[in-house]
Structure 1
Amino acid sequence: MNRPLSDDLLDWYDRHARALPWRVPPGWDIRPDPYGVWLSEVMLQQTTVAAVKGYWERFRTRWPTVEALAAAEDAEVMAEWAGLGYYARARNLLACARAVAARGGFPQTEAELRALPGIGPYTAAAVAAIAFRERAAVVDGNVERVMSRVFDIATPLPAARSEIRARADLLTPTERAGDYAQAVMDLGATICTPRSPACVVCPWREPCLARARGVQAERPVKPAKKVVPQRRGMAYVGRREDGAWLLETRKSERMLGGMLGWPGSAWDRGEEEAPPPAPGDWVALNAEARHGFSHFGLTLRVLVARLPQGTEPQRGQFVPVEAFHPDRLPTAMRRVLEVARTSPLIADSEPIVHET
């Protein structure tokens, strides 16, 4: 059964494959660049294709090889990653790039790729199949949904994952394994979507058991939603009279480690309060900054101050206005800035000059 199904899907993929900057189109006798494939797969974890395209292109322009990325400064890579979220991926990206550069290139098998830092089962299978044409079953969220529907797997996630992987492996062909992996992901992203799947144009509509039984909208079966815990904290946004901003580089062992941010409480450790990072007349704003992380929601009380020239901070350092790039802040810190900018103490203006 697996050959006809994979053949049908590959025929569909040859006609409808998405054009993506990291992808070699079907039919081209060109080996994909392992670095580009790996970079895209790391970025695409829990992130949409639309969000990743620009980041991938900027990374490839700035660091065109894995060796160039391996030699990059941590802070520069973290700044370029800002806004993409799940910042542990950026730290793992650097660790993996340095391991690959040290060994002289990417290994070519799924098992060897798994041994690299920051590479899990999905990424190892994807790079092995797409970049090196090894037969490997690639299972992401899109593939889980497709397999759950084609085989009408009623076991709830995550318990269903072993069966889903077995089914995915059954259908994976020996030839064109990379194209097949991308075809299943494209099918899930464009046809077999979470809501209102377009079954009428699906190349697998006939063998799909869930469609035949009218339960495709109910697959995969997801576990009951958990209540998302909420945390509170505070953030201090200070601006010196010459326009410089008071920022700090977060410690590597903390959430958003290695990124620039506003001094504040250790909200990632449950601490709601913290003393001011510098002496000054700090004003608490009525509006709060909110951000959702993968496993908790965060609300930050925002305090602002215009700080005198010559202020010596106890935490952080002043960043001159010309060197301050808000787009290099993680999203949670950008939201703090959005709230802070509603205050005239922080809003862009001419430097304050005191009369003598």
Structure 2
Amino acid sequence: MRVRGAAPRSPPSFQAFDLLSVLVAVLHADGSVWYVNAALEQALGASRRSLVGGDFSQFFTEPALIQTALAGAHSNDFAALRFEALLRRPHQDSVPVHMNLATGELRGHIVVELWPLEQQVRQDREERLLEQAQGHKELIRNLAHEIKNPLGGIRGAAQLLALELQSPELSEYTEVIVHEADRLQSLVDRLLAPHRHPHQVGDVNIHEVCERVRSLILVEYPQGLHIQRDYDTSIPEFRGDRAQLIQAVLNIVQNAAQALLPAMAQGNACITLRTRVARQVTFGRQRYRLALELHVIDNGPGVPDAIRERIFYPLVSGREGGSGLGLTLAQTFVQQHHGLIECESVPGCTDFRMLIPLP
């Protein structure tokens, strides 16, 4: 006999639900909770033991709606029902969710799946970013190879032509050709950089990476810039390419520093390097138990609205004279670590958030 409010041990067959990013609950016929997965625990901010045995309808802002749906499921009025509801969270705003009720194969029990709408939007955006990055990577690689071959011929022909010219005035034109060919060659080399060198995997301490970047930036911008550290020193080392991660973080911090040049002149420019451990996070439509969360936050003017959705695209820059490759390469390097870079920006606070799975 089951006692309402007790916390029976979850059946082993339910343990796989903990690997899912979707919120899952299994209910008894009376609407009380038999099992919740880790994602639902996190969303509700409560332990599984405290949730099991409770009235599932009380987790929502309209309990009567949930009770009616559960009664219909129990009486076999439908095999599955999908609708929207508001999930309550203690001391936080309620979350709109898609709810799916199904009687499943468990006699007398109901399986409930919940998809937070904000999470669904975010996952769709992340998936779109990953697909776009993959497409851009292939385009860049092919385009760079197509440019590189004739570029060498143009440069060589200009040098040979310069040897035949007698007039110094005409030689200036060949010098322009050689100079511009060298500039394009440098651009092509940067485009191909992520694909030329093999992934050099070793143990990485993210704070050593941050300190290296911090020292490089302060040498370049010695006046008017403060770089604040906010580190979680408990973050473990992980396997990765240290050089690539230094370059990725450096590109982001350099962008921030360049945006802060007016503030540096006034002496109030600030960049914050913040590290945290994120738990039970989902990105790239995959759930991770632990992930490194590195924030690069600056108090600059923010990313212009016109390019905010395209800042990781190649050759898109909000700065005159910028190559538009820094963030593209940073995203590529982080994606090679199965991670992702996101950006939130308003005037006075731009936050680049780097996520990398931890073992």
- TM-score range (shorter-chain normalised) is under 0.3
Query: Which structure: larger Rg?
Result: 2
> Could you say which structure has the higher helix fraction?
2
Q: Structure 2 length normalisation: TM-score? A: 0.22
Q: Structure 1 length normalisation: TM-score? A: 0.22
Q: Which has the higher contact order (CA 8 A, sep 6+)?
A: 1
> Could you say which structure has the higher strand fraction?
2
